[in-house]
Chains A and B, each alone.
Chain A
């Protein structure tokens, strides 16, 4: 199945530590270092639990400031890892979780389970964001899928957005549910890591069914969902319908879907809209430009 990535925990710890040490007080850093040292040396679980909760009391909650080098380093340590929007407490909590000894897998997972099932919202966000960095990544699949089922948008987004874990570890069923839910709750799909790689016919079918349902109720759909569509005749009919609207944003998205479709009829359909076809041909219209210009993506 998908490419599996094991993260170098030591490097991740080093990077987060460096970033925090530039931003928090010496006193706060001392506190954090002391706790992570004890935890990594196998301190009692209660020290881990209380330290994990107490992080904002000592570090505060401001945004983490990262340089472009930091971000590049992050992506090198763990492909797809992007802590750009993390806060100081999230980074601190991740450090504490990464300090937890993990050679006894069963015990390790049990301790994590205690934290997950008692966490408050901010703690959950920190935990789900740190999933791609944790040892034994394949063991956290059910937990991540649980996060996707959350009714808290911030928790759902912590799993789904700017997080390489789902693309690397979810099976198609869990992956497709996540994309569909992102559409439902209005989360920007362009922030879902590696979504093009995980596109699949089953997902396309679900998305078009969803679009038809919305149209029947005289409602609109996000143009982003066309990005995953274009595998069948029926889907092309939907795209043809979108191309006929006078909504340029929807039209551009449908045109891009045609351009990326493996079906020859899709190219024929696109040829009926020469200005869009030409823009795509020139490279003026791409999914990333579309996300930036039409959806306000800051990437």
Chain B
């Protein structure tokens, strides 16, 4: 089975993760721009970060047979440094329409402060102006209210629910998100977000329509194999294969291909050539470069 992990922060993961992910059938990842574990102190850090998302990280992933996409945005936490946030807003138009950028995101609320609200709305406006999809990060605290208010804002700014992915859902939020016509993504992340046994029950209860599974793996104790492992658990616990494929592959494909930057043919026709260099740099450290001309050799069906 092929998998998409539509929410993973590869910048904080190792090349070894890419190798293992590919072994387990992950063919494409989406990396939403987020914070770095500590607040950035200047707009220049954002600029380099965004550049690495559309540049080096895309290259590094491709060297291991994984197609890398990203979303561009000012994350909720850092919206609270208003002086900086204003400068980052100036940067966003330089990146939002680059190749492989599939949405504005992840944006939304963390503490639900007025500053967060202000920059969330400005970014919704930008998405509307550029006809882009939006990826919403729902807060860890006061999640239910945060999710509702995020959706209200999207509607207020004229975005169609079918073009918005609400992420980090749980048993409390899923019903409203689905009822209002948004995509409902779930982060399988140890302890803090959603466990995969709980995920199985959600699919059992709500079916597979507009539900998306991702890992959100980052520098924390998290699992870059969360999507394939959840798929395996679902199969073991009797969820029909078609439903597993929908929530671990097809729905992410359907949601993000609306961006015209995300297409199955990208990974079905891609090749690996580890002789390639990016800015003169290689991902290899003395290893023999792998050159594969067809995906057939690497697909695990």
Residues of A within 8 A of B (CB): 45-46, 49-51, 53-54, 56-57, 114-115, 117-118, 120-123, 150-152
Most chain-B Cβ atoms within 10 A of its Cβ — which of A50, A56, A121, A151? A50
> Does B98 have its Cβ within 8 Å of any Cβ on chain A?
yes
Contact at B280–A123, with CB atoms within 8 Å?
A: no
Contact at B277–A56, with CB atoms within 8 Å?
A: no
In the assembled complex, the Cα of A88 lies from the Cα of B224 at a distance in Å of 38
| Contact partner, B96, options A50, A114, A120, A151, Cβ 8 Å | A50
| Contact partner, A151, options B94, B95, B130, B281, Cβ 8 Å | B281
- Closest residue of chain B to A121 (Cβ to Cβ) is B55
Residues of B within 8 A of A (CB): 47, 50-51, 54-55, 91, 93-99, 130, 260-261, 277-281
In the assembled complex, the Cα of A256 lies from the Cα of B47 at a distance in Å of 50
Contact at A152–B279, with CB atoms within 8 Å?
A: yes
In the assembled complex, the Cα of A56 lies from the Cα of B97 at a distance in Å of 10
| Contact partner, A53, options B97, B260, B279, B281, Cβ 8 Å | B97
Contact at A49–B93, with CB atoms within 8 Å?
A: yes
Known A117-B47, A151-B277; judge A50-B130 contact (CB<8 A): yes
Contact at A123–B93, with CB atoms within 8 Å?
A: no
Known A151-B277, A152-B279; judge A118-B91 contact (CB<8 A): yes
In the assembled complex, the Cα of A122 lies from the Cα of B54 at a distance in Å of 11
Name the B residues within 8 Å of A120 (CB-CB): 51, 54-55, 98-99
| Contact partner, A50, options B55, B93, B277, B279, Cβ 8 Å | B93
Name the B residues within 8 Å of A51 (CB-CB): 97
Report the minimal beta-carbon distance from B160 to chain A, rounded to whole angstroms: 19
Contact at A57–B97, with CB atoms within 8 Å?
A: yes
- Closest residue of chain A to B58 (Cβ to Cβ) is A120
Contact at B279–A151, with CB atoms within 8 Å?
A: yes
| Contact partner, B260, options A57, A115, A122, A123, Cβ 8 Å | A57
In the assembled complex, the Cα of A56 lies from the Cα of B100 at a distance in Å of 11
Contact at B279–A114, with CB atoms within 8 Å?
A: no
In the assembled complex, the Cα of A50 lies from the Cα of B130 at a distance in Å of 8
Known A46-B93, A53-B94, A53-B95; judge A118-B279 contact (CB<8 A): no
Contact at A118–B277, with CB atoms within 8 Å?
A: no
Query: Can you list 9 contacts pairing A with B, beta carbon distance less than 8 Å?
Result: A50-B97, A53-B95, A53-B97, A114-B94, A120-B51, A120-B99, A121-B55, A151-B280, A152-B280
Report the minimal beta-carbon distance from B125 to chain A, rounded to whole angstroms: 11
Known A50-B96, A54-B97, A57-B260; judge A118-B50 contact (CB<8 A): yes
Report the minimal beta-carbon distance from B154 to chain A, rounded to whole angstroms: 20
- Closest residue of chain B to A46 (Cβ to Cβ) is B93
Report the minimal beta-carbon distance from A150 to chain B, rounded to whole angstroms: 8
Name the A residues within 8 Å of B277 (CB-CB): 151
In the assembled complex, the Cα of A221 lies from the Cα of B99 at a distance in Å of 38
Report the minimal beta-carbon distance from B102 to chain A, rounded to whole angstroms: 11
Most chain-B Cβ atoms within 10 A of its Cβ — which of A54, A117, A122, A152? A54
Known A118-B50, A120-B99, A122-B99; judge A49-B55 contact (CB<8 A): no
In the assembled complex, the Cα of A151 lies from the Cα of B279 at a distance in Å of 5
Report the minimal beta-carbon distance from B145 to chain A, rounded to whole angstroms: 32
| Contact partner, A118, options B94, B261, B278, B281, Cβ 8 Å | B94
Name the A residues within 8 Å of B98 (CB-CB): 53, 120, 123
Most chain-A Cβ atoms within 10 A of its Cβ — which of B47, B98, B277? B98
Name the B residues within 8 Å of A150 (CB-CB): 279
In the assembled complex, the Cα of A49 lies from the Cα of B90 at a distance in Å of 10
* Extra contacts besides A50-B97, A50-B130, A53-B99 (15): CB < 8 Å: A49-B94, A50-B93, A51-B97, A53-B95, A53-B96, A53-B98, A115-B94, A118-B47, A118-B51, A120-B54, A120-B99, A151-B277, A151-B279, A151-B280, A151-B281
Name the B residues within 8 Å of A45 (CB-CB): 93
In the assembled complex, the Cα of A115 lies from the Cα of B95 at a distance in Å of 10
In the assembled complex, the Cα of A49 lies from the Cα of B94 at a distance in Å of 5
In the assembled complex, the Cα of A115 lies from the Cα of B278 at a distance in Å of 20
| 4 tightest A-B CB contacts, nearest first | A151-B280, A53-B97, A46-B93, A54-B97
Name the B residues within 8 Å of A151 (CB-CB): 277, 279-281
